[in-house]
Amino acid sequence: GNGLVIISVCIVKKLRQPSNYLVVSLAAADLSVAFAVMPFVTITDLVGGVWLFGKVFCNVFIAMDVMCCTASIMTLCIISVDR
């Protein structure tokens, strides 16, 4: 769904408005959570909560998690102010 939102705003010229750019930003932030964070959380949950990806990537993962989730939250805040 998020990919379709991004594609539709990029393709349809009538949808290229500032408020829709905020929706595209939210879709991109949600996609980043889906691809950069959720697969590792899912695998960790499936193996009983054991982190299998090493200590260095654990720190990278935490940084990606905080960055992606914060981007999503901040975009929601900006959309609420815009509306």
pLDDT digits (tens, 9 = 90+) for 4-57: 999 999 999 999 988 899 999 999 999 999 999 999 999 999 999 999 999 999
Contacts of residue 16, defined as CB under 8 A and 6 or more positions apart, other chains included, come to 9
Q: What is the pTM of this model?
A: 0.84
What is the residue type of 4? L
Within 10 Å of residue 34's Cβ, how many Cβ atoms? 13
pLDDT above 90 (res 82): no
